[in-house]
Amino acid sequence: MGEHFNGGENLLSEALADLEKIKPEDLDKEILRAAMIAELDAINIYEQMANLTKSEEIRKILLDVARKEKIHVAMFETVLLQTDQEFLRIYSEYALARSRE
């Protein structure tokens, strides 16, 4: 896609390669994390392309698709919070601390 979209290493490829090394009891959590990485990568790409295009129609479509990818991130995160008790604890503690600021 050219230099505008080159984020260096492909985090998703690395995450998928690492799945083979995961303990069976952690596999679902890691699959959810890899799915979130894929969605976040897609969001970044769509938003970057939206900023580059001269077409208002294409920009609107790209931003709409990016918004839908954000919904997917939220879906995966919700299931991860239900699956990973440590992540839930850390997430809750952070959210509580932020609400007190």
**pLDDT, tens only, 32-42:** 999 999 999 99
CA distance 83 to 81: 6
Q: What are the E-state strand segments in the chain?
A: none
pTM: 0.78
- pLDDT class for 11, splitting at 50, 70, 90? low
* C-alpha radius of gyration, the chain, whole number: 17
pLDDT (tens digit per residue) in 47-93: 999 999 999 999 999 999 999 999 999 999 999 999 999 999 999 99
**Does the pLDDT at position 2 exceed 80?**
no
Look at residue 15 in the predicted model and tell me its pLDDT.
67
CA distance 45 to 9: 14
**Does the pLDDT at position 1 exceed 60?**
no
Nearest to 80 by CA among 12, 11, 38, 34: 34
